[in-house]
Structure 1
Amino acid sequence: MNNKWTNSLHIRVIFVFVNSLLLSIITSAAISAMLYNVYKNSYATDWIAITMHKYYYSYGLSSFIFPLVIFFHFVYFIWLFRKWSTYFTKVESVTKALSEGRFEVEIPKQSKKIPVSVFENLELMKEQLDYLIKKEKKINRLKNELITNVSHDLRTPLTSMIGYLQLIEDNHYKDEVELMYYVDIALEKSLRLNRMVNDLFEYTKLQNDELVLNKINLNLNELMRQLVSQFLPDTDKKGVCMKFEEKYPKVNINADPDKIMRVFENILSNALKYGSEDKDIKVIINQEEYVATVEIENGGNPIPQEAIPLLFNRLYRVESSRSFETGGTGLGLAIAKGIVDSHNGSIEVSSNEQKTSFKVILPL
């Protein structure tokens, strides 16, 4: 018989029911035959013969056999089902332990009398519950970390901004030059807070699949050329050169230009921030088969290999001080990856002593 059928719980129960019914019929028939034999060999004046004759004559043979069949059917069914009953009592205790979060409980050992699917489903339920509990704990931990990190990042510029505004409120400045200096610092801190709040909203949309993409057919060469020109004041200020190399003259992709621009703004900002002043930043655009690639290279200290898989985690920074002087909100790369993922693309990262490279791959 096929294992799928023999291992079915329903088939096993039916099998026990049918077997107990057959045994009860055989037993009842045997008892009836025995009593009939006693009746046949008894004298007409014997009380057994008289009683059986009256019963058979009044109710018939079937009314005698039927209660016997019912009785023995019940007895045999309980007897054949006893091993299952013991096992399912253990299963009940296991499920109760699992519901209370005690996942170290041992699953009852497999038995030939019990369908394999029962063991497999019970073990699967244990693994799934354990996974869900661990996942929930991880989510709560990440949520607490997010609140802690965001609170820290918000408090630092906010405290500074309040301090300078308090100085202005108390007229603690020498002249208008110092006043404007305080105002500029307060404005810079407020703009930084605004950027962080916008990053948080953007990241939340990505996590909740609420990001709306307005895709059009765009020329990636023109978009990157425009973006590189926007960074010229910053590169001149730092004293580095941003070189634009086109290995393919015209690369067209179907994408949301604003979102894609945001991706490369984040990566180029990091390249400029962490790159060394004596090495140029390279932007290389190419087309490979069915994908477009944009590779951004910069010099500087290499990213530790163990940190590369964590770069796109929310609020992660290679440096742990969480200072705005050495890093941003820690959401830039997480947002960039989310946007690229929503375009069915990917980002590859490599880093060594010579260069650090971020390669964005987008479908055509």
Structure 2
Amino acid sequence: MKHSLQRKLLYSYMAVIIIMLIMVSIGVSYLIRDYFIFSKKRELMNKAYELSRVVDDYYQGTINLHQLGIFINSVDSFLDARIWVVDGSRRVIAMSTPQRRYGPGGPWHRPGMRPGGMGIPLEANARGMIRKCLEELNQVFEGREWSTTLRHPFYDEEMLMVSIPVIQANGGMNGIILLNSPVRSINEYMQRIYYYIAAIGLVAVLLTIVIVNWLSRGIVRPLREMQLAAQAMACGDYNRRTGIRTDDEVGELGKSLNSLAQDLERFVSETEKVDKLRRDFVANVSHELRTPLTIIRGYTEALTDGTAADPALQAKYLGMMRDETERLERLIKDLLDLSRLQSQNTNAEMEPIPLAAVAEGVVSIFRRGAEQKGVQLQAEKLEENTVISGNGDRLTQLLLILLDNALKFTPAGGKITVGVERDKNLILLAVSDTGSGIASEDLPFIWERFYKADKAHSRLSVGTGLGLAIAREIIELHGGTVEVASAPAKGTKFIIRFPSLEKELKPV
């Protein structure tokens, strides 16, 4: 049978409280009883010494036995103690006889017994019980005090017995005085105390149940929340969070669990994203490779089976096969470039690069092609103090990609502008054109591999669809950021911000 943590805590606290109540009750009861017994013993001792003077008067002949009996009976009435006077030969010469305390069948109403002093006949059984009591008084006859609590063999009840010797003026001993006080009143008082302790204990247990139940709920509730969160994570739900806000160890555990869920959620999201990119990449590469290979295979079969017997047709087929082979070569080259950039193996090749000079060099490469297409290509704001830490070949490749795309999508009569300038601690590279532009819904995806804004991956262009993906890796490699603004039929503008070399060399 499964027991919850809350129930275990409740049972444990209740067991501790009950055990503590029992131990305290036992300890307090013994302490109180011992205190009452000790107080009663001191009182009886004091009264016994006062009685010893009266008993000494009896031995001196000042009073007779009858007067002694009346006196000890009167003392018995207010002291509530049975008084025995025993002489030196261990004979009981007088006993107090409080008849009002005993009904028929009590020790003073046995057959052949009646109250009185010496000479009053007692039955044999009573005399035997008296001798048994006197056997415990050896040390008193030796001149020492004695006290004990036991079940009295004569009165047949629990009594406190106190005895002292009666010493003569010359140092001799006349006998002893024995006081037998019932402890039933103390027991009755202790029984009332037990009732009070039991009632208080019951209230304490009930309060303990309420308080411990409340406390255990406060302990178990956050643990339950963490259990549900862990179960949710085990089932793949990493959005579940615990609502624990305490500053104790449980709160720290809840925060750690929330942090773990957040990290797992991020990891799973990144994993799914990477997996999707991998699948898309494989699909796109397969598509890009399959199409030229299919074309090459078709033309090869046409040439080998004699379908294309016309020399002009054969030359056309061979030219198309060459174009597709070059396309495959560019695709493989771009894939290798992208792979190298993503591995970031070019960090060791960084050096101070004047970005304006690189831009001017690339513009001169495209100038003749732009003139042939009827596109105006200009280099504006090429400031000289625009040095960055970078790789010259990669920065040249970045500009080649951007200008190639700009020239490709800018019609005759359009304009392409390249600019490099400083903006505080940043170097800005801007490439703008007045071409066909990019639709707003396509802008977030232009950096993805094999993405083309025409949605059809038209084969009229010679691009591989990897240019901007390579460009983004080059920008990130140099610690830069890029911003793109474009509108259909109005053109596109790329603004790339690189940290200047002075900022990178600034001491920390």
Relative to the length of structure 1, the TM-score reads 0.72
Find 1:361's aligned residue among 492, 497, 506.
497
Report 1:178-257 matches (<5 A): 178-212=313-347, 214-249=349-384, 251-257=386-392
Greater RCO, CA 8 A, separation 6+: 1
**Residues 198, 27 of structure 1: alpha-carbon distance in 2 compared, 3 angstrom cutoff:** farther
CA contact (8 A) 1:213 1:256 kept: no
Whole-angstrom distance in 1 between the partners of 2:243 and 2:356: 64
**Residues 96, 241 of structure 1: alpha-carbon distance in 2 compared, 3 angstrom cutoff:** same
Residue 160 of structure 1 pairs with residue 266 of structure 2: no
| Structure 1 match to 2:438 | 303
| Structure 1 match to 2:415 | 280
**Residues 209, 254 of structure 1: alpha-carbon distance in 2 compared, 3 angstrom cutoff:** closer
| Structure 2 match to 1:36 | 30
Report 1:121-140 matches (<5 A): 121-140=256-275
TM-superposed CA distance for 1:363, in Å, is: 2.9
Residue 261 of structure 1 pairs with residue 396 of structure 2: yes
| Structure 1 match to 2:163 | none
| Structure 1 match to 2:465 | 330
Considering fraction of residues, name the structure with more strand.
2
SS in 2 for 1:297: strand
CA contact (8 A) 1:153 1:322 kept: no
Residue 321 of structure 1 pairs with residue 453 of structure 2: no
TM-superposed CA distance for 1:102, in Å, is: 4.0
- Write out per-residue CA displacement over residues 28-78 of structure 1, whole angstroms, 9 at most, x where no aligned residue: 75134235247737843599xxxxxxxxxxxxxxxxxxxxxxxxxxx99x9
Amino acid at match of 1:270: N
TM-superposed CA distance for 1:213, in Å, is: 5.0
Amino acid at match of 1:311: I
TM-superposed CA distance for 1:185, in Å, is: 1.9
CA contact (8 A) 1:316 1:330 kept: yes
Residue 147 of structure 1 pairs with residue 282 of structure 2: yes
Whole-angstrom distance in 1 between the partners of 2:254 and 2:459: 55
Contiguous gaps of at least 5 residues in structure 1: 1-18, 48-74
Amino acid at match of 2:227: E
Percent identical: 23
Contiguous gaps of at least 5 residues in structure 2: 1-12, 38-148, 152-156, 159-207, 501-508
Q: Which moved more, 1:128-137 or 1:293-302?
A: 128-137
**Residues 253, 90 of structure 1: alpha-carbon distance in 2 compared, 3 angstrom cutoff:** closer
CA contact (8 A) 2:303 2:309 kept: no
CA contact (8 A) 1:276 1:298 kept: no
Instruction: Give the count of matched residue pairs.
Output: 321
CA contact (8 A) 1:220 1:251 kept: yes
SS in 1 for 2:265: helix
Whole-angstrom distance in 1 between the partners of 2:387 and 2:334: 28
Amino acid at match of 1:222: A
Residue 292 of structure 1 pairs with residue 398 of structure 2: no
